[in-house]
Amino acid sequence: MKKISIINYKGGVGKTTLSANLASELAFRNNRVLIVDLDPQANLTFSFFKLPEWQQLDADSKTIKHWYDAFLDEDRDMSLKELIVTPDKVNNKLKAMNSTGSIDIISSHLELINVDMELATRYGGNSDRTIRSSFLRLFSRLQNGLREVEDDYDVVIIDCPPNFNIVTQNAIIASDLYLVPARPDVLSTIGIDQLVRHIDALTVKYNDYADSAGGSWEKITPTILGVIFTMVSIYDQQPISTQREFITQVRRSGYSVFRTYMRDNKTLFAKSPDYGVPVVLDVDLTGIYLDIRKELEDIVDEVQTKAGL
Ligand SMILES: Nc1ncnc2c1ncn2[C@@H]1O[C@H](COP(=O)(O)OP(=O)(O)OP(=O)(O)O)[C@@H](O)[C@H]1O
Ligand SMILES: [Mg+2]
């Protein structure tokens, strides 16, 4: 089971859109996919569920917030399996397309933001040893939780919020790989560098603590799978020159940049959130939209090759 986080500190760069389409295309290619929505904005959750469906999940305590709540309120380890739900619409579509793959989801909650703040107050202790042990326990929660479903899925896609709070760090610690969607603009290079540095520092700290706590903690190696440029404006079959400069700059910095870009198209992507089935599975597309769907498929080809999926 490969675990892949989709992450960037910057908001609105296409993390959720990429997560939904990547998960859907991998499912179409006969993989059993689990999506974990860790963003309190819950956009990914709402791209698969309607509001009343989510309200039922909330009433049934089936969101990631309830899982962290069990830990915070009762120091109880609720099974992650209790949260997993199967969105009908996309899975019916997959069946209709003769795929044997599937999509399950662990939904997010708008109040996850409070959970993050409360988790921060739990981290600490009076001695180096208690600080280390509370850090390892808190930051490895998602990693441990996902061990329960190790044999149930081929791939887990984790959609991260635009921050590096404790829940986001849980995602990185749980992940084998991470993907960085980025817009080709001036802040990209700086933002990507900063993100990678923070992830590297977290890895060093975690492994250092794991070392000094003895053999029971597994080391982590979250590895960058690459940068995917999103919302790219194409002219004459290539990104417009200002965007090309930023893409080249990121490549020169040594990051693996995906060959294929996610093109800018508000009409196509804006309708997906309340649609229930992501663009990549929309078989009725024509003309330019068909080209964009093909680009999404090419991106998934690259992910599969790079991730060994
Ligand atoms: N390639 C694209 N072209 C045009 N619009 C897009 C594209 N990809 C995503 N969008 C739109 O841009 C907005 C932001 O996208 P998305 O929610 O995927 O970003 P995000 O990085 O997850 O944002 P956040 O940081 O808020 O979680 C959405 O309205 C989405 O529909
Ligand atoms: Mg998002």
- The single-letter DSSP state of residue 233 is P
Q: Atom 28 in ligand 1: which residue has the minimum CA distance?
A: 270
**pTM of the complete model beyond 0.85:** yes
pLDDT given at position 271:
67
> How far does the centroid of ligand 1 lie from the alpha carbon of residue 204, in Å?
32
Alpha helices, DSSP H, located in 152-215: 166-174, 186-212
Beta bridge partners of 179: 6, 226
pLDDT given at position 20:
96
> How far does the centroid of ligand 1 lie from the alpha carbon of residue 95, in Å?
27
Residue with tokens 């380890």: 77
| Ligand 1 atom at shortest distance from the alpha carbon of 39 | 27
Q: Atom 9 in ligand 1: which residue has the minimum CA distance?
A: 14
Taking only the tens of pLDDT, the chain with its 309 residues reads 999 999 999 999 999 999 999 999 999 999 999 999 999 999 999 999 999 999 999 999 999 999 999 988 877 778 999 999 999 999 999 999 999 999 999 999 999 999 988 998 888 778 888 889 899 999 999 999 999 999 999 999 999 999 999 999 999 999 999 999 999 998 877 899 999 999 999 999 999 999 998 778 999 999 999 999 999 999 998 999 999 999 999 999 999 999 999 999 998 887 654 568 999 999 888 999 999 999 999 999 999 999 999
Beta bridge partners of 223: 177
pLDDT given at position 283:
87
**Cβ proximity of 15 and 180 under 8 Å:** no
Q: Atom 15 in ligand 1: which residue has the minimum CA distance?
A: 14
Residue to substitute in 7, 17, 267 for testing ligand 1 pocket (most ligand atoms within 8 angstroms of CB)? 17
Pocket of ligand 1 (CB under 6 A): 11-17, 39, 41, 43, 162, 230-231, 262-266, 269-270
Beta bridge partners of 155: 2, 33
Let me know how long the chain is. 309
Return d(Cα 273, Cα 56) in angstroms, integer.
Answer: 19
Return d(Cα 98, Cα 27) in angstroms, integer.
Answer: 11
> How far does the centroid of ligand 2 lie from the alpha carbon of residue 35, in Å?
13
CA angle 131, 146, 94 (to 5 degrees): 150
| Ligand 1 atom at shortest distance from the alpha carbon of 262 | 1
From start to end of 29-176, where are the E strands? Answer: 32-37, 102-106, 155-159
pLDDT given at position 232:
96
- Sequence-distant (6+) residues with CB within 8 A of 165 are 116, 120
**Cβ proximity of 108 and 64 under 8 Å:** yes
| Ligand 1 atom at shortest distance from the alpha carbon of 161 | 27
Class of the CATH-defined domain 2-176+259-307 = alpha beta
- What pairing do the DSSP bridges indicate for beta strands 234-235 and 238-239? antiparallel
pLDDT given at position 275:
64
Return d(Cα 92, Cα 106) in angstroms, integer.
Answer: 18
Structure token digits, residue 304:
């599969």
**Cβ proximity of 48 and 87 under 8 Å:** yes
> How far does the centroid of ligand 2 lie from the alpha carbon of residue 121, in Å?
25
| Ligand 1 atom at shortest distance from the alpha carbon of 10 | 25
Taking the CA atoms of 134, 136, 142 and 147 in sequence, report the sign of the dihedral they define: negative
Residue to substitute in 269, 275, 288 for testing ligand 1 pocket (most ligand atoms within 8 angstroms of CB)? 269
pLDDT given at position 60:
96
